[in-house]
Structure 1
C-alpha cells in the first residue's frame, strides 16, 4: 500500500483521531448513540423495518447479535442491516452537511452487532465510531459535493466507507487489511436519490452498515481487493464524482463536532422552511393571512425535497411546499405521527401547499440557507431566513433536547418507565464493559402485524 496514497492517508488519519478524543467530541459521540437508539426503537415499528426483519428471520442464522426491538437470534450481518434500516426509517436521524450523510445510521449498527458478538465494551464502540465518522468526513469533504449532485445518496455510499473504517478499527485490522476492506466497500457502496420518498431510502443506511461489517470481516478473513480504491483511475472518486482535488487536503478539526441533530421528522432539506415559517408564526402570522408563500432554496434541493404534490406521508417528508403548510398551521413536525398518510389529505394543508412556490436559487446561493417570503392579505411582505448549518444551542442544550426527543420516541413503544431507564443507561454507554444487557433492555416483541409486548 502506497504510503502517500489517499486511501492510506485517510486510514491513518482517521485511526489517529481515536487516540486522544477531546471531551466535547466524546460527548457528541454519546449523543449520537442516544439519538440513534430512540430512532431505532420507534423505527422498528415501521413497515420497511418489519419486512426486512421478516425476510431475515425466514432466512435464519446462528444467533450472534440482537436487533433493536426484536431481540437476539440474528447474525452480525443481519443485525447491522436491520438496525441500519430501523435507525433511518423515520428520516429523523442526524446529518453532517459537509459529507451529505446521515452518519450514525450507517456507522453505528454494525459496531453494535460486532461488539455484542465479541463481548466488546461501549468505549471500544465509541472509539471505532469516531474513526468511522472521521473517515466518512474526510472522504465526503473531498468528493461529496459532486457525488451528491450526480444523484448518489451519500448515506449509502460514503456512509459505507465510514462503516467499514469503524468496523475495521473495532476488529483491530492493520493498515493493509483495512485498505482491502475499503476496496471491498467500494464495490458495495450504493444508493440513489431517486429513491427519496420511498422505503428504499432506509435500505441505503442498512446496506451501508451491512457493507461495512462484511467488508471488514472479509478483509480479516483474507479476501483480496484494491488498496487504493479511492484514488485509483477507475476507482470510487473517478467513477462516482468529478474526481479528487489536486492535492490531499489537510484535516484538522473533528468532523463529528459538526454533527447536526434533527428536531423535525422530515428531510433535513425542509428544516430551513420549517424553522423560518415557525419564527414568523411565533411573531403573530396567522395561516389565513398568508396569500402567497415563496421558498428560495439552493438548486440542489430540487433533487432532494421538492416533491410538489405528495401522495403519502413518506413523500410529505420530502416536500418543501407541504412542510411549509405544516409549519404555517402550527402542526407538530417533531412528532413522527404527523407524517401519517392521512396528513396529505387535509384540505387546510393542501390549500396552503397550492399557494406555495419553490424558487431554485442561482449559483452562489448558500447551500444551507432557506429564505421564506410571504405576501399577506393586507399587502405586507414578510421575509425570514434560516441557516440549517448552525446548531441549535450549545452541547448542553442539545443534550436536553435530544433526551426529550428520545423519550418521546420511546414511550409509545416501551412505556414511560422503561424509556426513562433506557435513556439513563444510554447516557453511560461509554462506561459499559459489555453491551448485551443494554441491547436486551431495548427489546420489544413484534408480531407480523406490528403489535408489541414487553419482553
Structure 2
C-alpha cells in the first residue's frame, strides 16, 4: 500500500478516471457547503469558539478560519452532515469528504494544483477501497462505521501522496492512523455519525504530519497479528486480497463510486426512486393512495432504524419517512430532511399508508449477496394501490447515482446549486465555483477557488 502511494501516478489510471474523480470531488464540495447550514453547524461553531486558536484554513460555507486540524474536523463533519455524500459500497462507507476535507485543511501550508489535488484524491480512494476489500463487509457487520475506520486510510493515502512522503514515512502514517480509527454504527441518526468523517479527516492530517516530523509507528500495522485486520476484521479478512486487487484499472472505473441523488441514507434510495417513478407513471397525489408497500431484500433495512422519526436526522434513516415524503411532495431536496419537514401533519397521515419490510423474495440469485451493503444487495419492489383500483409495482435493482446509473454533469450541477443555496452562497458565485471545479485539472490556484466558497 505504501508503494502504491509513493509510486503510482494519475497517468497510470485509465483516461476516464479524471472525469469520474472530478464528479465526486465537485459533489463533495457541494455537500460540505450544505453541511454548513445543517444541525451540526451551531454546536461545531460553539466548539470552535471554545478553542479559538488562530489559523489560516477556511471552513467552507462560513467566514471562519482556524487551524488545519480544526478545519479538517469541521469541514469533514459538514461533508457527511446531510448524508448526501458519495457511497463506496465495497467499504461500505463515504470516503470522499474525508479526503477533500484533509487536503483542503492542508492547502494554506502546502498549496496544490488542481491536477495534484485530483491525483491525491484518486490514490486515496484506491488505497482505502482495497484495504476495505480485504477486510470484507464483516467489519461493518461487527458494528463499525467504515467511514470512520477504513476511510481514514483513504485520507492518509491522499495526504501522503500530496505531501510526497516516502515509503517508510507512509507506512508510519498508516501505523499512526490505525490507532486513531474509530466509529460505531450505533451512532447513526445522531450528529456523531458525521463527526466520524470529521475525526477521520483530522486524524489523517495529524498522522501524516506526525510522520513528517519523525514520529514512529509499527510498519506492519495492517497485517500484523495484533494489527488492524486482526483487531477490526473477521475470519474472512485477508490483507493479501487487498494487495491483489490493486492490479485493476482502479475503483473509480470498476466497480465505480456512487453519488447520492437524495440527502439521506443510501439504503433508502431505491425505494425513494420507486415512489417517484410510480408517481410520474400514474400522476397520482398522496390523497389518491390507499397503500404503498416497499419490499426490501434481507438486510436491506439494517440501518433504517427509525420507523417513526421525530427529527430530520432520524428521518435520514427512516425508509417509511422517505417514502411518505415522496408521496406528499413528489420530489426530494436538502430541505426534505429537516425537523420541520419530518414533523408535518400530512407526513404523519401518509405514514399510515406505508408498509416497508424485508422480503426473502427480493434476494435475487447474486452469489455475492451476503457481501453487499444494505443499499446494494438484491432488489427493491415498490407497490402502490390507488383509490381508482389501480395497482402497480416497480422493481429497482440500482439506485440513481449508482455507477450503472451515473449522475450526469447536469445532475451534479443541480445538486451543487441546491447545496450552495442551502449555504447562502450567491447564485453567480456558485456558478463560477462550479465552472472552476468542472475544470479542476487545469486549475493552478486552488486557493482562489476555495475563496469563492468561503463567505
Q: Same fold (TM over 0.5)?
A: yes
Q: Distance in 2 between matches of 1:64 and 1:246?
A: 39
Contact (CA 8 Å) 1:294, 1:356: kept in 2 or not? yes
The equivalent of 1:29 in structure 2 is 21
Which residue is 1:266 aligned to? 264
Q: Deviations over 1:148-196 (max 9, x none)?
A: 1112111111111110111111111111111111111111111111111
2:384 matched residue in structure 1? 374
Give CA-to-partner distance per residue, 1:347-401, whole Å, 9 cap, x none: 3322332332332244955552222233445665422121236746989961111
- Between Structure 1 and Structure 2, how many residues are aligned? 434
Q: Paired residue for 2:233? A: 241
1: CA distance, partners of 2:218 / 2:392: 56
Structure 2, unaligned runs of 5 or more: none
Give the Cα separation in 2 of the matches to 1:65 and 1:415: 22
Of 104, 113, 122, the match for 1:121: 113
Q: Is 1:322 the equivalent of 2:321?
A: yes
Report what 1:256 is aligned to.
252
Which residue does the alignment assign to 2:89? 97
Map 1:394-433 to 2 at 5 A: 398-412=408-422, 413-433=424-444
TM-score (norm 1): 0.88
* 1:193–1:303 CA contact under 8 A, matched in 2: no
Instruction: Report the Cα offset of residue 144 of structure 1.
Output: 4.1
Bigger shift: residues 315-324 or 416-425: 416-425
Report the 3-state secondary structure (helix = DSSP H, G, I; strand = E; otherwise coil) of the residue aligned with 1:301. Answer: coil
Gap change, CA 1:157 and 1:246, over 3 Å in 2: closer
Bigger drift between 12-21 and 299-308 goes to 12-21
For residues 245-275 of structure 1, give each alpha carbon's deviation from its aligned partner in whole angstroms, at most 9, with x where no partner exists: 4843333031123111111111111100000
**d(CA) in 1 for partners of 2:425, 2:400:** 33
Shift of the alpha carbon at 1:212?
0.7
| Contact 2:400–2:407 (CA under 8 A) maintained in structure 1 | no
Matching residue within 323, 333, 336 for 2:334: 336
Query: How far has the Cα of 1:280 moved from its partner?
Result: 1.2
CA distance 1:72–1:439, change in 2 (3 Å): farther
CA shift at 1:331, angstroms?
Answer: 3.6
- 1:184-234 Cα distance to aligned partner (Å, 9 max, x none): 111111111111111111101111111111111111112111122222222
- Residue 212 (structure 1) aligned with residue 212 (structure 2): no
2:186 equivalent to 1:191? no
CA contact 2:335–2:341 (8 Å) conserved in 1: no
Distance in 2, matches of 1:70 and 1:352, equals 37
Q: What is the SS of the residue equivalent to 1:231? A: coil
C-alpha distance in 2 between matches for 1:206 and 1:196: 15
Residues 42/380 of structure 1: CA separation in 2 closer, same or farther (3 Å cut): closer
| Cα offsets for 1:283-310 (capped at 9, x unmatched) | 1063344333332223333331231110
CA contact 2:73–2:198 (8 Å) conserved in 1: yes
- Hey, what's the Cα distance between the residues in 1 that align with 2:290 and 2:28? 40
Compared with structure 1, are the counterparts of its residues 354 and 192 closer, same or farther at alpha carbon in structure 2 (3 Å cutoff)? farther
TM-score by length of 2: 0.88
Distance 2:65 2:173 in 1: 26
1-structure distance, mates of 2:72, 2:46: 15
* Aligned position for 2:2: 11
Q: Give the whole-Å Cα distance in 2 for the aligned partners of 1:338 and 1:74.
A: 31
CA contact (8 A) 2:87 2:258 kept: yes
After TM superposition, list the pairs within 5 Å mapping 1:1-400 onto structure 2: 10-13=1-4, 15=6, 16=8, 18-71=10-63, 73-243=65-235, 244-245=237-238, 247-248=240-241, 249-251=244-246, 252-257=248-253, 258-284=256-282, 286=284, 287-333=286-332, 335-362=333-360, 364-365=363-364, 366=369, 367=372, 368=376, 369-377=379-387, 381-388=391-398, 391=401, 398-400=408-410
Distance in 2 (alpha carbons) for counterparts of 1:218 and 1:393: 36
**How many Å separate the matches in 2 of 1:332 and 1:195?**
28
Are 2:324 and 2:347, in contact at CA under 8 Å, matched by a contact in 1?
yes
**Gaps spanning 5+ residues in structure 1: where?**
1-9, 445-455
The whole-number CA distance in structure 1 between the counterparts of 2:92 and 2:407 is 24
> Aligned with 1:118: secondary structure?
coil
Residues 72 and 201 in structure 2, CA contact (< 8 A), matched pair in contact too:
yes
